[in-house]
Amino acid sequence: MDIKRVAWSNLWRNRGRYLAYLGSAAFAVMVYFLFNAVVLHPDFQSGYRGARYAVAAMRAGAVVVAAFTFFFLLFAHGSLIRFRRREFGLMRLMGFTRGQLVRLLLWESVITAAASLAVGSGLGLLFARLFFMAISVILDLPEPIPVYAGAPVWLRTAGVFGAIFAAVSLQSIGEVMKHSIAELLRSRRRTKEPPTYSRGKAVLGTVLLAVGYAWAALGDQEHMFLASMPVTAMVSVGTYLLIHEGSIALLNRLRRNERGFYRPVPFLHLSQLLFKLKDNARTLTSVSLLVAVILTAMGTIYSVYALAREDALRGQVHSLEIARFGAGAADLAAEAEGFTMLLEDQGLEVPHHWSLLTAWADLSSQDLMGSVILVPYSIYRDMREAAGQPALPAPEPDDALAVGFGPVSGANPQPYVLTLEDQRLEGLAHVDEGRSLFYLQWALVVADETFARLTAQAPEDRRIALAAWDTSPDLGRQAIAAHSAVREHVDTGSGDVFLSRAVRYDDQVSQWSIVLFMAVFASLVFFAACCSLIYFRLSAEIEDDRRYYRRLSDLGVGRDLLRQVNRRQLVTLFFVPFLIGSVHFTFAMRALSITVGYSVIHYGWLMALGYLVLYALYFLAVQGFYWRSLRLGG
């Protein structure tokens, strides 16, 4: 007998079931292929600008994708094989030897593995150009990196996924071999007992979830990271118990309410839900946890990215700042003029430039306490004007404006005392809640004459020279080049401070954008797995459902009503886990907000919305497909 032919026809007969399996496997192969095309890219080996980040991110992503795919395929293929047990039993009965069955399973694995590898790598090759183009844009490379898909990429992809498929196939052979013919033949008895409600489990589930959530929501910054493990475990178990027991309790209650239940749609919909509950609970739990994992991972990465962006954009007041302390401070102003010309030579416009030789002093008042730099009112007003922000009126000679402290709780203005060596100034400080004037955050703005008097007598070790430029453009390749040219002339080794928004943005943000980019792809692999779990459930149910809907149709239930019932079933299966996953995710984001000390929930939700859109599209496609597969005639 030609085993290979049998393998082909087996797979063809089961193609509906294998579709989701092969689809998610091929997608994982594609992503793995693309990631490795970056990791193994020869140009990136020689340290392209930003290449370090890209290679590190893609390498990490490839590991995550491969590991996840391994476990997912193991699970998915296991359930496919369990579904086909009877088929294998019949083959043994018809005279297949154990050896032949093993060879058959091996052939099937070879075919499925080859198909997913071929399709996956093919898609990888197809999308490689787009992928590298995107990376060039994200890393802001001077010219797009050439597409790379050399032999090492193919070898590694084939090697790693070949090993994964081999392991999956060994597992399924073991599964089939460990049962006797009789066991294989024993058809899955699908009498579904009505699920019974267990108060103990419901209470346990509620407690686990409540404790997990409370821990995540109320924990303190220090212990949040350690807590994440037990919290995840508690939430996972709690979710299963609560989905199971909670839906039994809820559905039974709804069922007992005759007024609500004895109407066509709820009557059919709710009774079916309860009937399928045991089978659905596992899928619902897995999907909701996967959704939670995807959203949380993406939410975290996106939040960090957004924070880094915000920090780079807002944390630094000017495009470029240089500070010098102590004895040499007085020379900075002259050098700064040269830097302005240098910036302009590099093609930047410099709409604003300030140079300031000042000193730092000690401030004390009810709310404001610490070292401040002194700033003359004229520069303060000028900066506020340049930034398009309101300036407070000029202070009286002994009074001052406190800038960079943020809002204060006490009186405004409030009396203050300023000391600079043996000089002392007392008056009223008006608090300007606007942003800082220089990277040195706290400043006390005094009248120009007062400023001149105070700084003239400042000792050398209290002197600070500050130079600031607003350049246009102030981000991007050109700005980085120009700012870097200035940097060449600044001696950071001897204590000068050099701050370029463009460089900082590039450092912080572009590494995170490449991580974000990688994570989007990796998350899509998880997402595809999530979608195939639902698909598995549906393909397991379709025979039963077909019978169910036919029966109703024979009894004279119209197509419209059937369609409505079917749609509700699918909406429940799809969106209840998404909703539960989103609740988990919200608590995880709350925990993250505590850890980073900044609320990031809105970033998370923004991103969750994106996944919801994708998910809804999948729902629409499956819904139509499933309805057609029920083949209710007409």
Partner 1 sequence: MRDTTTRVLIAQGLTKIYGSRGRAVTRALNNLSLAVDRGEFVGIMGPSGSGKTTLLNLLATIDRPTSGTVTVEGRDTSRMSERELALFRRKRLGFVFQDFNLLDSLTLRENMALPLVLDRQPPSLIRQRVEALAQRLGIQHVLDRFPDEVSGGEQQRAAAGRAVIHEPALVLADEPTGNLDSRSSQAFMEILRDLNESLNVTIVMVTHDPFAASYCSRVLFIRDGALYNEIHRGDGRQAFFQQILDVLALLGGGSGGH
Q: How far is the CB of 264 from partner 1 (least distance, A)?
A: 5
Q: How far is the CB of 266 from partner 1 (least distance, A)?
A: 9
Q: How far is the CB of 188 from partner 1 (least distance, A)?
A: 15
Sole window of 261-269, 452-460, 529-537, 581-589 interacting with partner 1 (rule: CB under 8 A): 261-269
Sole window of 46-54, 353-361, 453-461, 558-566 interacting with partner 1 (rule: CB under 8 A): 558-566
Task: Pick from 192, 314, 489, 631 the residue near partner 1 by CB under 8 A.
Answer: 192
Cβ proximity to partner 1, 178 vs 628, nearer residue = 628
Task: Pick from 69, 112, 272, 436 the residue near partner 1 by CB under 8 A.
Answer: 272
Cβ proximity to partner 1, 388 vs 633, nearer residue = 633
Structure tokens at 570: 């699918």
- Please state, in angstroms and rounded to a whole number, the distance separating the CA atoms of residues 254 and 241: 19
Sole window of 15-23, 267-275, 313-321, 505-513 interacting with partner 1 (rule: CB under 8 A): 267-275
- Phi/psi for 347 (5° steps) reads 95, 10
- Please state, in angstroms and rounded to a whole number, the distance separating the CA atoms of residues 67 and 74: 11
Q: How far is the CB of 105 from partner 1 (least distance, A)?
A: 34
Binding string, 202-241, against partner 1, x = CB under 8 A? Answer: ----------------------------------------
**Is there binding between residue 68 and partner 1 (CB under 8 A)?**
no
List 373's β-bridge partners, or say none.
Answer: 360, 443
**Is there binding between residue 275 and partner 1 (CB under 8 A)?**
yes
Look-up of token digits 């509700």: 568
List 469's β-bridge partners, or say none.
Answer: 320, 353
**Is there binding between residue 631 and partner 1 (CB under 8 A)?**
no
**What would the DSSP string read from start to end of 382-396?**
HHHHHTT---PPPPP
Structure tokens at 616: 């809804």
Q: Determine contact, residues 439/497, Cβ cutoff 8 Å.
A: yes
Contacting partner 1 within 422-481 (CB under 8 A): none
Q: List C-alpha distances in Å: 145 to 72, 157, 440, 569.
A: 34, 21, 40, 49
Sole window of 175-183, 269-277, 513-521, 565-573 interacting with partner 1 (rule: CB under 8 A): 269-277
* Helix or strand holding residue 613 (H, E): helix 601-629
- Please state, in angstroms and rounded to a whole number, the distance separating the CA atoms of residues 189 and 307: 54
Structure tokens at 512: 């995170």
Task: Pick from 555, 597, 613, 628 the residue near partner 1 by CB under 8 A.
Answer: 555
Q: How far is the CB of 572 from partner 1 (least distance, A)?
A: 14
Sole window of 131-139, 206-214, 359-367, 554-562 interacting with partner 1 (rule: CB under 8 A): 554-562
Q: How far is the CB of 559 from partner 1 (least distance, A)?
A: 7
- Please state, in angstroms and rounded to a whole number, the distance separating the CA atoms of residues 149 and 154: 7
Sole window of 259-267, 364-372, 419-427, 622-630 interacting with partner 1 (rule: CB under 8 A): 259-267
Cβ proximity to partner 1, 136 vs 553, nearer residue = 553
Look-up of token digits 């032999």: 151
Q: Determine contact, residues 54/146, Cβ cutoff 8 Å.
A: no
Q: How many CB atoms lie within 10 A of CB 518?
A: 28
Amino acid in position 419 = T
Q: Determine contact, residues 479/350, Cβ cutoff 8 Å.
A: no
* Helix or strand holding residue 167 (H, E): helix 151-177
**Is there binding between residue 191 and partner 1 (CB under 8 A)?**
yes
**Is there binding between residue 556 and partner 1 (CB under 8 A)?**
yes
Cβ proximity to partner 1, 41 vs 276, nearer residue = 276
What is the DSSP code (8-state) at residue 190? -
Total residues at interface with partner 1 (CB under 8 A): 27
Residues in the chain: 634
Q: How far is the CB of 282 from partner 1 (least distance, A)?
A: 19
Cβ proximity to partner 1, 166 vs 561, nearer residue = 561
**Is there binding between residue 548 and partner 1 (CB under 8 A)?**
yes
Q: How far is the CB of 567 from partner 1 (least distance, A)?
A: 17
**Is there binding between residue 558 and partner 1 (CB under 8 A)?**
yes
User: Residue 600's closest CA among 182, 150, 234, 300?
Assistant: 300
Cβ proximity to partner 1, 143 vs 193, nearer residue = 193
Look-up of token digits 């089939």: 176
Q: How far is the CB of 274 from partner 1 (least distance, A)?
A: 7
**Is there binding between residue 559 and partner 1 (CB under 8 A)?**
yes
Q: Using H for helix, E for strand and C for coil, what is the string for 468-484?
A: EEEEECCCCHHHHHHHH
Q: How far is the CB of 287 from partner 1 (least distance, A)?
A: 22
Number of continuous H segments (helices) and E segments (strands) in the chain: 22, 9
Structure tokens at 615: 């998910």
Q: How far is the CB of 283 from partner 1 (least distance, A)?
A: 18
Task: Pick from 263, 489, 602, 631 the residue near partner 1 by CB under 8 A.
Answer: 263
Amino acid in position 131 = F
Sole window of 115-123, 209-217, 380-388, 556-564 interacting with partner 1 (rule: CB under 8 A): 556-564
**Is there binding between residue 552 and partner 1 (CB under 8 A)?**
yes
Q: Determine contact, residues 27/528, Cβ cutoff 8 Å.
A: yes
Cβ proximity to partner 1, 204 vs 557, nearer residue = 557
**Is there binding between residue 187 and partner 1 (CB under 8 A)?**
no
Q: List C-alpha distances in Å: 236 to 196, 291, 300, 580.
A: 21, 12, 19, 11
Interface with partner 1 by CB under 8 A: which residues? 191-194, 258-259, 262-264, 267, 271-272, 274-276, 548, 551-559, 561, 634
